[in-house]
Amino acid sequence: MRTNVNIRRMTELAILTAIVIVFQLLGTFIHIGVTSISLVLIPIVLGAMLCGVKGGAFLGFIFGAITLWAGISGSDPFTNTLFNAQPIATAVICLGKGILAGCGAGLVYKVLKDKNAILASVAAAASAPIINTGLFVLGGLFLVNGTLVTMTGGQSLTYFLLIVCAGINFIAEFIVNVVVAPAINTIVQVAAHRVQ
């Protein structure tokens, strides 16, 4: 029985990994302002709910790795500029925010799921963009601020990060994740009942 559960989890994780890769690669080409929108947070949250904190962290790592690759390859000009100026700090931001967004969504869901499954899914879905964007802003302020000051062209760094980079993008990510949360909850519940 335990082997069946492990195989099911590995299959779910493999499918969600493929979705994360596709969403992130497509998202690289959809920009709001200077940053791309992260629809990829939806499968990361789903993975965090289905596969736990470690599953969410793994999917977040895949998201961060693709973001970093887009910066290294030049397909994301904003991340490319940051990477060329500060490669280690950029890698820490890309990987850290993805991993912790997946981890955080998994922890929030784990804490709340026995109290109220719908609340747990909504809170997990809301936490992912908050963590992702929050760590991006903090990384910008503390790790790559010199490069960003040069990029702002005289604007306040805080204004640039909160309004230009994260503002509309964060709002779009947050709304999409929270609206999709009931559907995610339904998928999680159906998957859980099939196992029993």
Contacts of 64 (CB under 8 A, 6+ apart): 94, 95, 96, 97, 98, 99
Question: Which token pair is 117?
Answer: 């499954």
Kindly tell me if the per-residue pLDDT of 33 is higher than 70: no
pLDDT of residue 19: 92
User: Would you state the CATH architecture of domain 2-195?
Assistant: Orthogonal Bundle (1.10)
**pLDDT bucket at 28, cuts 50 / 70 / 90:** low
Kindly tell me if the per-residue pLDDT of 194 is higher than 80: no
Is the pLDDT higher at 127 or at 189? 127
pLDDT of residue 186: 83
Q: What is the mean pLDDT of the chain?
A: 89
Average pLDDT over residues 140-168: 86
The per-residue pLDDT for range 72-128, each reduced to its tens digit, is 999 888 899 999 999 999 999 999 999 999 999 999 999 999 999 889 999 999 999
Question: Which token pair is 108?
Answer: 């929030």
Question: Which token pair is 7?
Answer: 């195989």
Question: For 70-134, what is the HEC assignment?
Answer: HHHHCCCHHHHHHHHHCHHHHHHHHHHHHHHHHHHHHHHHHHHCCCCHHHHHHHHHHHHHHHHHH
Every domain of the chain and the residues it spans:
2-195
Question: Which token pair is 195?
Answer: 């196992």
pLDDT of residue 36: 64
Kindly tell me if the per-residue pLDDT of 189 is higher than 90: no
C-alpha span between 60 and 91 (Å, rounded): 13
Contacts of 53 (CB under 8 A, 6+ apart): 103, 106, 107, 110
Question: Which token pair is 105?
Answer: 């969504």
The length of the chain in residues reads 196
Place of tokens 């719908």: 118
Kindly tell me if the per-residue pLDDT of 7 is higher than 90: no
Q: Decide if 100 contacts 135 (C-beta within 8 A).
A: yes
Instruction: Determine which helix (DSSP H) or strand (DSSP E) holds 1, and give its type and residue range.
Output: none
| Whole-structure pTM value | 0.90
Percent of the chain with pLDDT over 90: 57
